[in-house]
Structure 1
Amino acid sequence: MIVKSAVKAAAGDMSVGADFYEELNNVVGTAIARAQERAKANNRSTLKARDA
């Protein structure tokens, strides 16, 4: 789900461990799933900032 090159660029001069990408991907996936639940609960099919 995440783009490794974008994460590496955002990290600047810091090294990024392989396990960081996997965990970040999990965090993003969970955030999206929660946003979907919130939008559905509000009878919307569009995710909005307030769902995050």
Structure 2
Amino acid sequence: MSDSNSDKEVLIVTSKLKKYIRSSSGLSTSANVAPALSDTIRNLCDQAVENAKADRRKTVMDRDFT
């Protein structure tokens, strides 16, 4: 898989993200938001994986995201 943002899979449901933003603020959502948010989620997941490994677990848990 390439490191280019355009080649990375979007990890969120874009329609639900747009609906949430629209209903909570009345604002529209740029097409660039979903890939940027997916990168943020990837980074959070990578850190959570490291936290689980540091605790010698094979399961990522909610507490690994803090």
Q: State if a TM-score over 0.5 links the two structures.
A: yes
Which protein has greater RCO, CA pairs closer than 8 Å, 6+ apart?
Answer: 1
1:1-52 alignment, distance < 5 Å? 1-11=11-21, 12=23, 13-52=26-65
For residue 23 of structure 1, report the CA deviation from its aligned partner.
0.7
CA-based RMSD of the aligned residues comes to 0.9
Q: Mark the runs of 5 or more structure 2 residues left unpaired by the alignment.
A: 1-10
Structure 1-normalised TM-score?
Answer: 0.88
TM-score (norm 2): 0.71
- Give structure 1 stretches of 5+ with no counterpart: none
**Runs ≥4 in structure 1, deviation > 3 angstroms?**
none
**Matched length:** 52
Bigger Rg over Cα: 2
Instruction: Quote the sequence identity (%).
Output: 31
